[in-house]
Amino acid sequence: MRTAVFMDRDGVLNRPLIREGKPYPPASVEELEVLPEVGEALAALKAAGFCLVVVTNQPDVARGTAPADAVSAIHDRLQATLPIDGIFTCPHDDADACECRKPRPGLLRQAAGRLNIDCAASFMVGDRWRDIEAGRQAGCTTLFVDRGYAEPEPSRYDHRVASMSDAARIILRSRHRA
């Protein structure tokens, strides 16, 4: 089985749009800005043998405020520019009560099944409590990217970091100790 680094998209890989202290996804490829340290961090993780998987809630699709093709175009751009093995998306809202919407672990488990991933040996990097809780429920080591949003932070996580670069350093150190 493979070891993975699961990552949220907005706020971890790309710059979110901040309104009243809360993060929002880019609406189009034109608004997509990959954070400066992300390419190098993912390249180092990939070189160390990790499977790199994006797991992202995109409820604006269900809400009708973002077309599914715009979300797909953003994902196509990310896959074209970053060494990502897969992107798994939940297009639902909370009211849909689906298993794939974080904080439920459905997206991580779906990716694990398709990509032969051992969740217990893997990592989840996220910038919101939903990401961290999904990672915990899937059995991953969790890394909370603290962006200082005006919203509750996760109640429990394994590591607090400031960026994907910091997360990659911790993950790579843990690999060397194993």
How confident is the model over 99-121, as a mean pLDDT? 97
pLDDT at 123: 98
> What pLDDT was estimated at residue 66?
81
pLDDT in tens, 133-153: 999 999 999 999 999 999 999
pLDDT band for 68, please (50, 70, 90 cuts).
confident
For 27, the 3-state DSSP assignment is coil
Q: From start to end of 36-175, where are the E strands? A: 51-57, 86-90, 123-126, 141-145, 159-161
Compute CA 22 distance to the chain's CA centroid, rounded to the nearest angstrom.
17
Instruction: Verify whether residue 10 is a known catalytic residue.
Output: yes
Is residue 159 pLDDT above 70, yes or no? yes
Q: 4-7 and 123-126 as β-strands: parallel, antiparallel, unpaired? A: parallel
Total domains present in the chain: 1
Task: Using a pLDDT cut of 70, give the percent of the chain over it.
Answer: 98
pLDDT of residue 20: 95
The active-site residue, picked from 8, 85, 127, 166, is: 8
CATH number at residue 144: 3.40.50.1000
Least confident of 63-67, 81-85, 89-93, 104-108: 63-67
Return the pLDDT at 67: 83
Q: Which of 10, 60, 127, 166 is catalytic?
A: 10
Mean pLDDT of 113-136: 98
Structure confidence at residue 177 (pLDDT): 58
Catalytic site residue 131? Answer: no
pTM confidence score: 0.96
Mean pLDDT of 63-83: 91
pLDDT of amino acid 77:
97
What would the pLDDT profile of 30-51 be if each residue is shown by its tens digit? Answer: 999 999 999 999 999 999 999 9
Which residues form the domain of 82?
A: 4-177
Closest CA to 131 of 144, 150, 116, 148: 144
